[in-house]
Amino acid sequence: MQKAALFIDGANLYYTQRQLGWLIDFSRLMDFFMSRHDVVVARYYVPSQDPPSEDQVAFSRVLMTHGFDIVSKPVKKIVNRDTGDVVIKGNLDIELAVDAMLTEQYYDRIILFSGDSDFLPLIRALQKKGKKVSVYSTRGISAHELYTAPGIDFQDLSYLESEFVQSESIADIGQKAHVFSSLPAPGDRFSGSVLSVKPYGVFLVNPYHVKCLLPLSFLGVAERIFDLSAIIRIDDRFDVTVFAVDTSHDVPQITVKLADRDMSAELEKRAKAAQLYAQ
């Protein structure tokens, strides 16, 4: 299955949904792409406010529940000294473009949710590297170049309502995010790809759309690991067994153990190589 990276320009998608007149169900969206691709990166870029509203907190829970890594930065308020007008800035285009370029070796196709022409240089750079590009937005508010330029697979969201539409509000879904009918049981086994790497373990994309942590201590590696990010690759896949299921939080979390001895041996080898390199 083709490896894909999903990058969502949250601010642009917000206005797109207002234009469409319906909201996206991010559970259905993730299912849609995971059934067609091996999604190795899923990131949602959105400016943050302090303090966040209840709806924003609920929406963040929804995104994390369904496997998205949220990238945010505080909204800036810039005052025009001459007029006194306040301009709100919260653009994360640079962050998205940098992340897309830094991870390009791990995916074959980039799926970009944005209608912003500022991303054209990024698209052209990725195409030169042999990457396929799909852009999801809608005509009318998208840059003309995105759906007329050759080589760009432009998908108009106005024709995908039946695939992505949600029937409940974001707040309602956020309040129900703790209710899951298909959580795994201890001992269940599945395969997951890397979502993010922390010093204490690896978070995995998983078929249950919950937080899934593979702790450092459950990798089956005897060699001491000083920097986990140095030995985990974003295109790694892990066959794991469910160790525990925690439903006490808003977003359920499953803890898993690596069940693949060959992968444990590979990680052991990488850890030794990392230590030798450090010396």
pLDDT of residue 172: 47
What's the average model confidence in pLDDT over 54-59?
74
Is the predicted pLDDT of residue 222 greater than 90, yes or no? no
Q: Are the CB atoms for 202 and 233 separated by under 8 Å?
A: no
pLDDT of 267 > 60? The answer is yes
Give yes or no for residue 77 having a pLDDT over 80: no
In this prediction the pTM is 0.63
Band of pLDDT at residue 278, cut at 50, 70 and 90? low
| Cα angle 226-228-231, degrees, rounded to a multiple of 5 | 105
Q: What is the pLDDT of residue 7?
A: 97
Residue 88 in this model has a pLDDT that exceeds 60: no
Q: Give the pLDDT confidence of 22-51 residue by residue, as tens digits.
A: 989 888 898 899 889 988 889 999 888 767
Please give the residue that has the higher pLDDT: either 250 or 164: 164
Element at 94 (helix H, strand E): helix 93-102
pLDDT score for 241: 96
Q: pLDDT-derived band of residue 202, with 50, 70 and 90 as boundaries?
A: very high
* pLDDT at residue number 263: 95
pLDDT digits 0-9 by tens, 92-143:
899 999 999 999 999 999 999 999 999 999 999 999 999 999 999 999 889 9
Which H, E and C letters describe 179-194, residue by residue? CCCCCCCCCCEEEEEE
Cβ contact 211:64 at 8 Å: yes
Among 157-161, 178-182, 219-223, 267-271, whose mean pLDDT is lowest?
A: 178-182
What average pLDDT score do residues 228-245 get? 91
Mean pLDDT, rounded, for 249-266? 89
Give the CATH fold of the 3-175 domain: Rossmann fold (3.40.50)
- The confidence score (pLDDT) of residue 171 equals 45
Which of 53-57, 104-108, 257-261 has the weakest average pLDDT? 53-57
**pLDDT of 132:** 95
**3-175 and 189-278 have identical folds:** no
Fold of 189-278: OB fold (Dihydrolipoamide Acetyltransferase, E2P) (2.40.50)
Quick one: 117 exposed, middle or buried, by C-beta within 10 A (0-12, 13-18, 19+)?
A: middle
Distance CA 242, CA 88 (A): 45
Bigger pLDDT: 57 vs 197: 197
Domain range summary for the chain, segments of one domain joined by +: 3-175, 189-278
